[in-house]
Structure 1
Amino acid sequence: MKLATTEWRGTSRFRELLAPLGVAALAGSAFAFVGVVDPNQPGHYPTCPFLWITGLYCPGCGTLRTMHALAHLDPVAALGLNPLAVAMIPFLLFWWGRWVVRAWQGRPRRTTLAHPAWLWAFIAIVMVYWVVRNLPFGAFLAP
């Protein structure tokens, strides 16, 4: 009887890991695709709708080229294209790692990603970045 309980816990643990591992597989596949299909060549990816309509850069403009540069181990070029995207990578890896650990330990999933103050701070950083990269003195942030 004890063996069956242990097997069930192992199966449950594996099931809990499927979601974070699936996210990792999807992100890794997208990263590999962008690493192979060069976003610097026209015609491979659509233009940013915000850039196309307004002529201004959104916070995400340059992210595909940033990921392509990182896939080719060129962090200097990546920082020049979208420093906010590069700065977000450690935070995303931390949250994903925390998700994996919680799933492995069988701890319940949290319903909130982070404290609301951190989320509001992140939104404020993105908004300031969005405005500054479109101003003359923030041209160094443009892709």
Structure 2
Amino acid sequence: MSLKNTKSAGYDGLSISTPKRCIDNISDAMATAVNDVIASGCFPDSLKTAQVTPIYKKGDKSKTENYHPISILPAFSKVVEKVIYTQLMTFLSQHNLIFENQNGFMKNKSTSKNFHNNVIAIVLKHAITTIYITKQISL
């Protein structure tokens, strides 16, 4: 399992690089904590609390609409999320439960590519329909 190394820290003050640096010392405790979250089916409220920072986009800096929020979750929250995601995706893949056109939140896929492919399919379907009708009329 890999998590992107970032220096940004949530309200807990820990960036994801902090537990990565000391993983040998905390791996047993972290595994127990992650397993407890999964076994209980309860994601603690403290792990849902994000530090929200406004990031300037462009335009007048005094207008709030020229900023977008970045939410930074606690490092442990990211670890739990990654473990659950990995287990869930493994299960869904092994049991062929992922629709082949599912592109959102899928590795190496994108919703924009899916949209593009669907538009091409519609255009091709229309072109084939038009050719078919033209053939029938000319017969």
Report if TM-score (shorter chain) is over 0.5.
Answer: no
The two structures have a TM-score, normalised by structure 1, of 0.24
Compare the two structures and name the one with the higher helix fraction: 1
Higher Rg: 2
Larger RCO (CA within 8 A; separation ≥ 6): 1
Q: Normalized against structure 2, the TM-score is what?
A: 0.25
